[in-house]
Amino acid sequence: MAAVAAKPHVLVACAVLLLAVGCQASPFWPLEIGYYHDKCPQAEAVVKGVMEKAISQNPGNGAAMIRMLFHDCFVEGCDASVLLDPTPFSPTPEKLSPPNDPTLRGFELIDAIKDALEAACPGVVSCADIVAFAARDASCILSRGKVNFQMPSGRRDGTFSNASEPLKFLVPPTSNLSDLVASFVIKGLNTEDLVVLSGAHTIGRSHCSSFVSDRLNTPSDINGGLAAFLRGQCPADATPGGNDPTVMQDVVTPNKLDRQYYKNVLSHTVLFTSDAALMTSAETARMVVENAKIPGWWEDKFQKAMVKMAGIEVKTGYQGQIRKNCGAINHY
C-alpha cells in the first residue's frame, strides 16, 4: 500500500496537540551518543578519571563494574535499581538478593563517581548512565584499549527494587546451556550475545561457593590440574556468607580483558558449569573456537554486545527520575 503524506495543516494540529499535553504522548526517547555534551560536558571524562584511578589500585574494580551492568540490566532494565539501599518502606531491594549479596561489589565506586558528577553538574547525570559508562571504561582499560566503544546514554533511574526479581532473571553459574540461552532471549539478546558476554569471565574473582558443589565435589569435565589447585584453595563446604574464599577466574591473564577465556573453555580450565556449557552444542562450540582463534574477533563482538545489553528495557524521556543519591529514590 502506498504511503499517504500528511497535509501541512494536519502536521501543525498534531504539533499543537503534543504541546497541549506536554508531550506526554511520547514518554520514551532513544538513547544518544554524547547525550551530556551540552548538559554536562565533562560527565564521561569524570567517570573515566575515577575508573582509571580505581583500576590502577585494584583491577578487580573494573571487573566489578562490568558485572554490575549485567546484574542491573537483566533486572528491571538498565535503571540502577540494583543500587538502591533498603528502607523501612522497601526493606529488601535487589542488592540484598542472593545473586547480589554478598558477592556484588563496587557500590562505593559508583557513589564516588556520583559525588563528583553532582559537584560538577547537580541533578543531571543518572546513576543508570554512570553504571553504563563505568562498565564501558572498565572494558577499555582492562583490555588495554582493544575494547573501545562509545556508550549511548540518556537513561533514567528506576524507583522500584525488590530482592525477588534477581532470582527470576539472573540464572546461577550451575545453569545448563538451554537455561542460559532462555535467560538471554527473554531480555532480547541471542545465543551469540550469551557466548560473547561470557568472555567477561576472563577477569575478576569468583567465590568458591559458586562452583565447588557441582565442579569439584561431583564428577565434571574440569581439568584435573586445575581441580587439584582449586581444592587447595576452596573448602569443600564453601557457602555464601560463610567460609568462602575467592579465586581468579582466569589464572593465565587474570587482570586483562581478552580472548583467553575461550582458550580456557577449550582446555576445560574454567570455573563454572555455565562456562563449560558453551561446549555442549555445535553452534556455541563453534563460536568458542572462533573467539579463541581469530585475533580481534571477540573484542569487536564484545563491544557491540555490551551496547546491546546496556539498552535493555531502559527508562528515558519522562520515565523514572535522576537520583541525587544512587542508593535512594528522590522524594519531592
Q: Known catalytic residues? A: 71
One-character DSSP codes across 274-312: HHHGGGSSHHHHHHHHHHHHSTTHHHHHHHHHHHHHTTT
Distance linking the first and last C-alpha atoms of the chain: 50
Secondary structure letter of residue 157 according to DSSP: B
Is 253 known to sit in a ligand binding site? yes
Is 193 known to sit in a ligand binding site? no
Does 102 sit behind a cis peptide bond, omega within 30 degrees of 0 on the bond before it? yes
Is 81 known to sit in a ligand binding site? yes
Is 103 known to sit in a ligand binding site? no
Is 268 known to sit in a ligand binding site? no
**DSSP bridge partners of 172:** none
Is 52 known to sit in a ligand binding site? no
Residue closest to 179 by CA, chosen among 274, 50, 300, 37:
274
Is 62 known to sit in a ligand binding site? no
Is 246 known to sit in a ligand binding site? no
Contact at 8 Å (CB) between 25 and 18? yes
Is 111 known to sit in a ligand binding site? no
- Is the C-alpha dihedral spanning 259, 260, 266, 272 positive or negative? negative
**DSSP bridge partners of 157:** 321
Is 191 known to sit in a ligand binding site? no
Is 250 known to sit in a ligand binding site? yes
What residue numbers does the annotated binding site for heme b cover? 201
What residue numbers does the annotated binding site cover? 72, 75, 77, 79, 81, 94, 201-202, 250, 253, 258
What residue numbers does the annotated binding site for Ca(2+) cover? 72, 75, 77, 79, 81, 94, 202, 250, 253, 258
